Amino acid sequence: MPRSLLSFRMERVWDCASSAGMFMLGVLSVLWPAPNRVWSFNLYAEHPTVYSGPDGSYFGYSVDFYQASTERNTISVLVGAPKANTSQPGIVEAGAVYYCPWPGQPDSCTQIPFDNSNNRMIKVNGTREPLEFKSHQWFGASVRTHKGKVVACAPLYHWRTVKRDGEKDPVGTCYVAVQNFSAYAEYSPCRTNDPDPEGQGFCQAGFSVDFTKEGRLVLGGPGSFYWQGQVMTAGIAEILNGYSLKAVLRRVPGEKQTGAAEDTNDDSYLGYSVAVGEFTGDSEQELIAGVPRGAQNFGYVAMISSTNLTFIQNFTGEQMASYFGYSVAVTDLNGDDTDDILVGAPLYMEREMESKPREVGRVYLYLQLAPVMFSEPIVLSGTYTFGRFGTAIAPLGDVNQDGYNDVAVGCPFGGEDRGGRVLIFNGNRDVSTRGLTLSQELQATRTPSSSLPGYGFTLRGGQDLDGNEYPDLIVGAFGAGQVSVYRYRFQKQQCYFVTFVLLVSSCWNSFALHVFRSRAVVSVEATMSLTPRILNPDDRQCLLPQTNNLVTCLKVDVCAAVSGMGIPSNVDLKAELHLDWLKGTRGGVKRVLFLDTQQAQHSGLLRLGQSRPRGCLSYKIYLKEEDEFRDKLTPIALALNYSLAPPSSGKTLPPILNEYSSTFLQEHAYILLDCGDDNICIPDLQLSASMDRSELVIGDDNLIMLTITAANRGEGAYESELYTLIPPEADYIGVERRVESLSQLNCEYKTINESRMVVCDLGNPMVTGTELSVGLRFSVQRLEDSGPKISFELQIHSSNKDNSESNMVSLNLTVAAKAQLDLRGVSHPSQVVLPFPNWEPKKKPVKEDDVGPQLHNAGPSSIGQAELQVGWPARFRDENLLYAMEIQTDGPISCRTNTSLNPQGLQISSLQDTPELLGFLRNTTDPPHRHKRSVSTAESYSSKTLVRKQARKTLISDPQVLHVCLPTFHIQNCTNISCLRITCVVGRLDRGQSAVLKIRSRLWAHTFLQRRNDPYILNSTVSFMVISVPYRIQPPALPQHRISMGTLVLWGTPDVSFAVPLWVIILAILLGLLVLAMLTLAMWKCGFFDRARPPADDNVSDQEKLTSDQTGDA
């Protein structure tokens, strides 16, 4: 397992190289621009300078440029040979890093003495045994430089762990060299007290390495934590300071490491490759780490914060086992001044037909569109089967000087001969639509050895070896035994061993004869003038092409003059004018564009020379509409870059610009502001604010509204914004829109430098006399660990140079903890009436009585702990009253008693909850915001108010008042009888939670039968006291309360049953029927049932009279 990570890298080489029976030697190739091919891609690879390494040393496995200091212009080459032998005594194939001067001879490379010592030893049981194991440690497998600092690593370095059994783990180690290799220090971040696979024992630190722009070291250790992998960072100065060879276990100050993740991330290989770039819009670079076996073997690349090593974003591969993330690189390929990410997947398989997949490899390009926002991947696919395209990716800088960076991709087994290829891709402005342009393919077949197996396995570019201001490229091919430096050859000659020239000369190689030709140096004086220099948005004199819109415009005149000795008659000068170019570097919106193209960049050509040494170009640019940009204060910077245009085909040696002459010119235009004659606005911003509450209660919703008034009493404030800094406990809800007197501002929640705030736009500009009021709503709930107060900080900011901010306003709210606790009790049954019907006295009474208190937290705050005390009426003069059977609890409560329960061992019956009790239990489970019910006290019984008690999980209900006409009650409580003492500890009760204590008992009837006709009230007392609340803020007084609960014992008359004989019932019915018949006969004899009818004549007379009356009326 320790070698499993490196095995894949080696497998990629050996599956092709070993089949051809090749000797494993080291090869390195350094390529640089050719002056007569700048217009295409200026790397010329026919005749390299060759550096040779020892046979079988893997010379060229890793490479980098090296410059001892910025004062020294000499740049050399560093080459890793991880299987080379060194002068270390007793060490076999420790590996080495070679220093190869440039220019140099094939055998001019020398080993750098990073470590000349043997294994450190340790005494174990009196025997000296190795503490570390440097043989076959692969030192030089990774090499990186940064401003004179060099780091080389040995990922297979082993050391004896802290265990006694002598196990050794491949933790890996690195060496740092500074001051031109005069000072060294070892850095092994995984050599810790956390060995074995589950810790950092198989870390292989230094498997990948890089530097941040500040010079902080970044290491990958893909074997940590069961090969989950990790990324580590440390400062070089901290590594060097305090370094001692005796310090085996050393923690470097300021060192940062990613930790172990979930078990599902095992065998992911985080840190297999690393790179750095800026992706979040701040000044801190982020780390990019390849995880080729993560995401269920699809592979992914993780973006990690360099400040705290937290994971920001992942990019996941599209094909399983493609080893997505094997290589990573960061550069800007579309000229938008933001870093883009390239990811290699060298095992990607492409399907031409469903049954014939081809392993070709791929590279994925993610263009950065905005901070932490990227485009869909742009895919570069390999063309050679088993070529492993994407094994290495190297940013080159702008090799062809077209204004866009370029990149090299290694395909170490590409080509018909599988000797390897390096493909050069050019960046451009339209990468998102056009993709990268393949401009050149380098191959190793033209080297003196005729073939370089593994050519392109390692790449490094972006620095200038020969000082001609063109970035060069190093190509490593550790499978052939040589290092080759490829240079431009001006005329075709037979340079068999080494042929190279500077850009200012050519090489004529015939045996020992060399002829150098000088190139003419051209000095340029350029000027740029603007008319007018101040743009008035209201002065619109230019017509925007293809529209009817008039716009504000100005004229730009670019003029240049050339001079120099022996310059050609025609010198073509290329002038590139960038508008508002500072906005491009800062990601802002361009405010001016060219009138004809409506673009922010334009290139023009000036044809000058001896006969016409001076010339000019004129442009019209226009100001965009004011609603298209916000910045109206800062000057509009126009930048001019000029260079010599590429010569035409077939032209002889072209000239070169004077390297001491500036090729950059800048002028500024301004936007006219309503700020007086000086065009400088000085605002007077004033701010006031208030809140609708002053106190926050822990556990409550705590909704608050900030009413803010912003005013400007001075000149216009541009890009004015209201910033409200939100405390960690608060959350932003939104702008208050229900109050008509408040302005409906556009407010946005933002996180800036880990500070949470609400930013509201107040106008651009916020003119003189403006006064705006806005309501911002917040919810404050995370108060458990809060201090005694929280604060909202408010201030107005503008982009004005003078008096750009308002007064600072701080609004403070106090934090309080308030808990309202209810102590409730219930008894079931509420009263006992003696004697029972058909009841005979028994030695063991059967009437059970359940009494219980409940402690309920109505909130809003929680309590941490409380104490509950219960006094139970148990005995009177050695006679039992309420004989306690058992105690039951519900909720976070535990109880103890001063005496034992159920000393006589009576059987406990199973009682069922009555419908009344079940209804009561349902009522007590209502939400905690219900109205609090009243609690009865001992005195309530003197007013003939009885407390109804319940069984089971009892809760206190409202007292039910019963009016009884009884003699005076005998009240028995803990002041005149012997009570059972119950002490309970109640744990945390959050809002709406309860703790219940239920005491099951039997009413001892024998005691009361001796005192017939005497009514009793048996009172139990309950009290509680809160001990603590779980907050930093403590209430001024902790809640406490005391109540009494009682059981009523009454006496009544027993029920009596009266039996009636059946014959009496039958005789009564017959007598009743006889009387009814006699009454009916008497009424019939008297004519009671006859019907009275009126005479018929009367009806006729009445009818006639009625008819006569109707006729007369008519």
Q: What is the CATH number of the domain that holds 525?
A: 2.60.40.1460
- Confidence band for 17, pLDDT divided at 50, 70 and 90: very low
Which pLDDT value is given to residue 483? 46
Which pLDDT value is given to residue 5? 55
Q: Say how far apart CA 862 and CA 1066 lie, in whole Å.
A: 75
Q: Say how far apart CA 244 and CA 510 lie, in whole Å.
A: 55
* 367 and 351 in a common domain: yes
For residues 1018 and 385, the model is more confident at: 385
Tokens of 671: 């936007």
Confirm whether 1086 is domain-assigned: no
Tokens of 560: 């240049």
Which pLDDT value is given to residue 85? 93
Asked if 68 contacts 77 with a C-beta cutoff of 8 angstroms, the reply is no
Which pLDDT value is given to residue 294? 96
1039-1090 per-position pLDDT tens digit: 888 888 777 777 765 554 555 778 888 889 999 999 998 888 888 888 777 7
130-144 per-position pLDDT tens digit: 889 999 999 999 999
Confirm whether 863 is domain-assigned: yes
For residues 149 and 1093, the model is more confident at: 149
- Confidence band for 1093, pLDDT divided at 50, 70 and 90: low
Task: Kindly calculate the radius of gyration of the chain based on its CA atoms and give it in whole angstroms.
Answer: 48
Which pLDDT value is given to residue 266? 95
Task: Report the percentage of the chain scoring pLDDT > 90.
Answer: 31
Which pLDDT value is given to residue 435? 92
Residue 21 has pLDDT above 80, yes or no: no
Q: How far is CA 540 from the centre of its chain?
A: 48
Least confident stretch, 172-186, 294-308, 425-439, 922-936: 922-936
* 215 and 324 in a common domain: yes
Which pLDDT value is given to residue 1018? 81
Residue 216 has pLDDT above 80, yes or no: yes
Which pLDDT value is given to residue 946? 32
Least confident stretch, 226-240, 272-286, 660-674: 660-674
Question: What is the maximum alpha-carbon separation in the chain?
Answer: 172
Confirm whether 1066 is domain-assigned: no
Which pLDDT value is given to residue 217? 97
Confirm whether 498 is domain-assigned: no
Asked if 490 contacts 502 with a C-beta cutoff of 8 angstroms, the reply is no
* 432 and 579 in a common domain: no
- Confidence band for 915, pLDDT divided at 50, 70 and 90: low
**Stretch 882-895: mean pLDDT, rounded?**
85
Of 824, 880, 821, the residue nearest 998 (C-alpha): 824
Which pLDDT value is given to residue 354? 67
Q: For position 977, which CATH number holds?
A: 2.60.40.1530
CB atoms under 10 Å from CB of 958, counted, come to 14
Residue 935 has pLDDT above 50, yes or no: no
**Stretch 583-602: mean pLDDT, rounded?**
82
* 919 and 799 in a common domain: no
- Confidence band for 189, pLDDT divided at 50, 70 and 90: very high
* 697 and 660 in a common domain: no
* 810 and 841 in a common domain: no
- Confidence band for 653, pLDDT divided at 50, 70 and 90: low
Of 816, 836, 852, which residue sits at a domain end? 816
Confirm whether 1059 is domain-assigned: no
Of 816, 844, 862, which residue sits at a domain end? 816
How long is the chain?
1114
Q: Is 245 helix (H, G, I), strand (E, B) or coil?
A: coil
* 833 and 812 in a common domain: no
Residue 18 has pLDDT above 80, yes or no: no
- What lies within 8 Å, CB to CB, of 919 at 6+ separation is none
Q: Say how far apart CA 645 and CA 605 lie, in whole Å.
A: 8
Which pLDDT value is given to residue 510? 25
Which pLDDT value is given to residue 137? 95
Which pLDDT value is given to residue 1013? 65
Which pLDDT value is given to residue 163? 67
Tokens of 918: 């079940």
**Stretch 709-721: mean pLDDT, rounded?**
89
Q: Say how far apart CA 189 and CA 176 lie, in whole Å.
A: 13
Confirm whether 177 is domain-assigned: yes
Residue 852 class from Cβ within 10 Å (0-12 exposed, 13-18 middle, 19+ buried)?
Answer: buried
Which pLDDT value is given to residue 202? 95
Q: How far is CA 366 from the centre of its chain?
A: 20
Which pLDDT value is given to residue 355? 66
Which pLDDT value is given to residue 54? 87
Confirm whether 505 is domain-assigned: no
Highest mean pLDDT among 295-309, 554-568, 638-652: 295-309
Which pLDDT value is given to residue 366? 97
Q: Is 684 helix (H, G, I), strand (E, B) or coil?
A: coil
* 744 and 838 in a common domain: no
Which pLDDT value is given to residue 652? 56
Q: For position 796, which CATH number holds?
A: 2.60.40.1510
Q: For position 23, which CATH number holds?
A: 2.130.10.130
1001-1049 per-position pLDDT tens digit: 887 877 777 776 678 788 888 888 888 888 777 787 888 888 887 777 7
Q: Say how far apart CA 31 and CA 49 lie, in whole Å.
A: 9
DSSP 837-855: TT----SS---EEEEEEEE
* 408 and 293 in a common domain: yes
Q: Say how far apart CA 948 and CA 966 lie, in whole Å.
A: 19
Residue 438 has pLDDT above 60, yes or no: yes
Of 940, 941, 960, the residue nearest 950 (C-alpha): 960
Domain count, the chain: 4
**Stretch 725-744: mean pLDDT, rounded?**
89
Residue 311 has pLDDT above 90, yes or no: yes
Which pLDDT value is given to residue 275? 97
Domain that holds residue 970: 820-1051
Which pLDDT value is given to residue 388? 95
Least confident stretch, 344-353, 624-633, 721-730, 919-928: 919-928
- Confidence band for 463, pLDDT divided at 50, 70 and 90: confident
* 564 and 713 in a common domain: no
* Strand pairing class (173-178; 149-154): antiparallel
DSSP 413-465: T-STT---EEEEEE--TTHHHH--EEEEEEESTTSTTS--TTTTSEEEEEE-S
- What lies within 8 Å, CB to CB, of 293 at 6+ separation is 267, 268, 269, 299, 323
- Confidence band for 485, pLDDT divided at 50, 70 and 90: very low
Which pLDDT value is given to residue 43? 57
Which pLDDT value is given to residue 928? 40
Of 775, 645, 636, the residue nearest 708 (C-alpha): 775
* 441 and 572 in a common domain: no
Asked if 411 contacts 388 with a C-beta cutoff of 8 angstroms, the reply is yes
Supply the mean pLDDT for the chain. 78
325-335 per-position pLDDT tens digit: 999 999 999 99
Give the H/E segment covering residue 1059. Answer: none
963-999 per-position pLDDT tens digit: 334 457 777 778 888 888 989 999 888 888 888 888 8
Q: Say how far apart CA 959 and CA 948 lie, in whole Å.
A: 6
**Stretch 297-304: mean pLDDT, rounded?**
97
Confirm whether 111 is domain-assigned: yes
Residue 698 has pLDDT above 60, yes or no: yes
Of 649, 671, 693, which residue sits at a domain end? 671
* 843 and 784 in a common domain: no
Least confident stretch, 7-21, 83-97, 105-119, 475-489: 7-21
**Stretch 571-584: mean pLDDT, rounded?**
84
Which pLDDT value is given to residue 913? 55
